[in-house]
Structure 1
Amino acid sequence: MTTRLGPADAMALHTQTPTTPAHTVSLVILEPSKKLSHDVLGQRIAAAIPRLARFRSRLVCKPFGMGQPIWAEIAHFDPARHIHRAAVPVPGGVRELADLITLVCGGSHPRRALWEAWTIDHLVGGRWAVAIRMSPVLAEDGRGVAAFWDAVLTSGPDADEIVADAGVGTAPSTGELVADMLSEMVENQITGAWMAADAATDALHSVRDRLQQARVKVLLGPAVSSMRGPVPMTVFNAPLEKGRSLAFATTLRSDVELVSDAFGGSAANVLLAACTLSIRAWLQRHDVVPDEPLVIAVAQGRIRVPVQLDDPVQVLTNMHTATERANIADSGPDEIMGATDDVTKVVSMLWPWAVRAGMHVYTGLGLARRGGPSCHGSISFLGDSAETLVCAGAEVVGMYTAEPLVEGCGLNITVTSHSDTMDVCVSACPDNVPDVEDIARGIAEAVDVLVAAARQSPRGRGRSVVTQLASHSRRA
């Protein structure tokens, strides 16, 4: 039984380019411990990796690249070949660690291993770090990073052992590859026919819906949309170069929850507001603040973030409204997601070499920038455990993840929650977004600003975040 590379993974793998590598980088920082060494940490990773099927496997290409690759377990798999050692330059601070991670994990090469890990010493205070670079094909329904850390980290000395994933099978023979290639061609023909039929049906439904919407607009007036208005062109939309820069910051979970309790709304909204305030401050320092909100991709879809506003509670109010609207929209029919799924299917039906060639032409001609910007960045949230995590007997004191950038969307902010902290990793192209550490530091500072505002309006005396704006503005 062969396991073929799935459509979403195929699209992520084949559409990456030298300036848009699709790998994810993640690391943890460990407290000082006399028990830690490169050998100890390497053995911990080597013992955990074999539990994850895709990490102990490889992709076998079909003849002439005709069809998607097949998963196969690596014979005599030796995880030690993927584990390396590194040392942070003096003085061993967060800045030096971020620079080291971008150096060892940077770049993309088609023959590079699907994953590589590093054990890192010489951090300030005697701390250690473990970092991993992962290909997008290891995502496994978006749990690639989480699956790795679930295997490597524990929540205590008596944590349950993780059961190994089922294997993906041995390497297929040439005959099996050819058979799957022919089967895939037939499947693609059927899928293409269904997509054509769906497109015709959707066209008829679209005409009907537009007629109904026109009648509703006459009766009720135009609908209100949080995505309305022009999308400004900013430095975040500039063409990406090969370089990347990372920056880290940390905020306390208790501070974020204090703001959430005072104004209502979720902890994610508080972080979104803090990110917005920090991005605005960075844009102000570089004198490039747009007149319109930016568009940021989040789990619910795309939302507008009001970087043109300077009142912190007003920004928090806007984020609450934007995410509520996004949640409502997400609960109904989603044409955008349907279109994305169709694109993914079409890409997976093409031969890999054709997709890669097309992406190079697409990027080289700057077609991604034609028609104006549609997004400026992405903000992701990982983890939600309040438990203390441990690696090889040492407590995890920092946890950061950098997700890949895409052309025209040149800023990524990923927030990882663990124990009593929320760790922020900011990733960007340094040629377009210099001083990225200012954005990371600004997020932590923005949380402090929101905490100060929350202490003026404790729950039960103040109003909710939806109505707090007016009273806060009068006090300012």
Structure 2
Amino acid sequence: MQLMPVTESMFLLGESREHPLHVGGLQLFELPDGEGPDYVGELHRALLADGEVHPLLRRRPRGPIGTLGQFIWTDDDRLDLEYHVRLSALPNPGRVRELLELVSRLHGSLLDRHRPLWEAHLVEGLRDNRFALYTKVHHALLDGVSALRLLQRSLSPDPAARDIRPPWATPIDTGRAGGDRPGMSAVLRDIAGIGPAFARYARQAFREQAATLPFEAPRSIFNVPITGARRFAAQGWPLERVRAVGAAADATVNDVMLAMCAGALRRYLGELDALPDRPLVASVPMSLRTDGSAGGNALGMILCTLATDLPDPADRLEAIIESTRRGKAVYQGMSQLQVTALSAIPFAPLALGLLPGAVRVAPPAFNLMISNVPGPTEPLYWNGARMLGVYPVSVPYEGQALNITVTSYAGSLEFGLTGCRRSAPHLQRLLTHLDTELTDLERAVC
């Protein structure tokens, strides 16, 4: 048995049927040359025969289900791998549309707390010699950065490699032990510095307006109570195009990505006659992981204006650049512990949103979460199958009906849009608007 850190237990305590708290990923693969329709079924049988599962993914909560007793991990020594690793088939015509519909359904169901909190679904029947892997793991075990790194470690840049282990059997460095672990004196020093760090945060953010503040966001169609059903849409764009816009505007890839989202959201909400007069505000998580580990949770957060009140894409990008610069400056020079503690200020309203009726009464601290998780830079293979794309499937929260998570892979910027099925309608249209907005940014600044 192992005591849960509070950063893990809070994801279990905050979960309900209407609020699943697992992160996921969708990977698209191309069948190796010469392989036929039996390849995916044979791969599934081989994965089950392997039988090995990393100890982190053998954990399950100990204590009564549905109570506040979820503070201890226990190991499942009778893990049923066939339950966790499943084979599914798409109906004809096997388009990406049918794949996304399947992922939407799978992502809306809760993980079984009587078992280790993860699932993997191999999906065959996708046309053009492709298949997919959808995985989901509870946020109490891994954050999105950790999950992506775990996937990357299970793949190879060598298309001839055939002895690659499945992601759930890959060694996981949790980053919680070893020579780089901070000593007790360093931890105590960081704790003692939280007070002065908060004073600095308050002075810069509140008095000097050095950052976008919580509760400055307007109410939008996303800031409503949500259901547990999900809708998922995904697409990628050449990273070269995004970098060219950034180089012309002296902006980061993250700034351009946020500007794409801003323009797409402006068009999407405009079509629904639901665009607020004031600019939308995004919560932008920052990975604090510096040790290359692939376990646990390590995140800070800033708030960024999306400048959706501005009609010109170049003006929106300029406003976003300035907003992210000021947000990061607030945390300059702070330790990971101090940044994590102060990030709870804008993040706390998500916990308040779990109180009955709070979302309808309280103003939103921000309108949606937009994350950018760096991914593999070269093409990767899984037992000879080339990975064509990797798309994050994230977590909408109560009062936050849409989550946009982005990752990079082999020269492409891959967008995953995860929304409440009821409160984020016609999510596929956002993909069209993202494409239009990138083109408009190129015309405006390049």
Corresponding position of 1:238 = 224
Deviation at 1:104, TM superposition (A): 2.5
| Mapping of residues 70-85 of structure 1, within 5 Å | 70-75=72-77, 77-85=79-87
Corresponding position of 1:314 = 315
Structure 2 CA distance for aligned equivalents of residues 49 and 66 of structure 1: 33
1:227 pairs with 2:218: no
Read off the aligned partner of 2:257 and give its amino acid letter: L
SS at 2:233's partner residue?
A: strand
CA contact (8 A) 2:226 2:423 kept: yes
1:164 pairs with 2:165: no
Deviation at 1:332, TM superposition (A): 5.3
From 52, 61, 84, the equivalent of 2:63 is 61
Corresponding position of 2:20 = 21
Deviation at 1:378, TM superposition (A): 0.8
From 81, 92, 98, the equivalent of 1:96 is 98
Structure 2 CA distance for aligned equivalents of residues 280 and 64 of structure 1: 40
| Mapping of residues 375-454 of structure 1, within 5 Å | 375-454=366-445
Cα offsets for 1:105-148 (capped at 9, x unmatched): 32225536411111111112121001112112221x65441244
Corresponding position of 2:251 = 265
Mark the CA change 1:202 to 1:138 in structure 2 (over 3 Å): closer, same or farther: closer
Corresponding position of 2:41 = 39
Read off the aligned partner of 2:10 and give its amino acid letter: M
Structure 1 CA distance for aligned equivalents of residues 421 and 328 of structure 2: 33
From 119, 125, 148, the equivalent of 2:122 is 119
Structure 2 CA distance for aligned equivalents of residues 209 and 239 of structure 1: 30
1:288 pairs with 2:288: no
CA contact (8 A) 2:225 2:359 kept: no
Structure 2 CA distance for aligned equivalents of residues 290 and 98 of structure 1: 29
Deviation at 1:370, TM superposition (A): 2.8
Read off the aligned partner of 2:171 and give its amino acid letter: A
| Larger mean Cα displacement after TM superposition, 319-328 or 329-338 | 329-338
Mark the CA change 1:374 to 1:63 in structure 2 (over 3 Å): closer, same or farther: closer
Deviation at 1:49, TM superposition (A): 8.1
Mark the CA change 1:110 to 1:88 in structure 2 (over 3 Å): closer, same or farther: closer
Mark the CA change 1:265 to 1:48 in structure 2 (over 3 Å): closer, same or farther: farther
| Larger mean Cα displacement after TM superposition, 16-25 or 326-335 | 326-335
Corresponding position of 2:54 = 52
SS at 2:325's partner residue?
A: helix
CA contact (8 A) 1:253 1:422 kept: yes
What is the count of residue pairs matched by the alignment?
400
Corresponding position of 2:182 = none
Structure 1 CA distance for aligned equivalents of residues 7 and 90 of structure 2: 36
Corresponding position of 2:289 = none
SS at 1:125's partner residue?
A: coil
* Structure 1 segments unaligned to the other structure (5+ residues): 168-193, 217-221, 347-358, 456-476
Corresponding position of 2:131 = 128
Read off the aligned partner of 1:101 and give its amino acid letter: V
Structure 2 CA distance for aligned equivalents of residues 239 and 95 of structure 1: 27
* Structure 2 segments unaligned to the other structure (5+ residues): 175-187, 286-300
% identity of equivalent residues: 24
Corresponding position of 1:179 = none
CA contact (8 A) 2:417 2:427 kept: yes
| Larger mean Cα displacement after TM superposition, 113-122 or 276-285 | 113-122
| Mapping of residues 275-354 of structure 1, within 5 Å | 275-299=261-285, 300-331=301-332, 337-338=340-341
Structure 1 CA distance for aligned equivalents of residues 50 and 320 of structure 2: 40
Structure 2 CA distance for aligned equivalents of residues 261 and 340 of structure 1: 30
CA contact (8 A) 1:390 1:396 kept: yes
Cα offsets for 1:127-182 (capped at 9, x unmatched): 1001112112221x654412441343222247797873589xxxxxxxxxxxxxxx
Mark the CA change 1:55 to 1:47 in structure 2 (over 3 Å): closer, same or farther: farther
Mark the CA change 1:422 to 1:44 in structure 2 (over 3 Å): closer, same or farther: farther
Structure 2 CA distance for aligned equivalents of residues 362 and 224 of structure 1: 26
Deviation at 1:91, TM superposition (A): 2.3
Structure 2 CA distance for aligned equivalents of residues 442 and 313 of structure 1: 16
Corresponding position of 1:460 = none
Mark the CA change 1:93 to 1:131 in structure 2 (over 3 Å): closer, same or farther: same
CA contact (8 A) 2:210 2:330 kept: no
Cα offsets for 1:360-405 (capped at 9, x unmatched): x974621244331111111111233211111121111111111111
Structure 1 CA distance for aligned equivalents of residues 4 and 30 of structure 2: 39
Deviation at 1:55, TM superposition (A): 1.2
1:9 pairs with 2:16: no
SS at 1:265's partner residue?
A: coil
CA contact (8 A) 1:297 1:377 kept: yes
Structure 2 CA distance for aligned equivalents of residues 27 and 239 of structure 1: 26
Deviation at 1:3, TM superposition (A): 2.1
Corresponding position of 1:184 = none
Corresponding position of 1:355 = none
Structure 2 CA distance for aligned equivalents of residues 399 and 424 of structure 1: 9
Structure number with larger C-alpha Rg: 1
Mark the CA change 1:231 to 1:362 in structure 2 (over 3 Å): closer, same or farther: closer
Structure 1 CA distance for aligned equivalents of residues 46 and 243 of structure 2: 34
CA contact (8 A) 1:415 1:425 kept: yes
Which is richer in helix?
1
Mark the CA change 1:73 to 1:143 in structure 2 (over 3 Å): closer, same or farther: farther
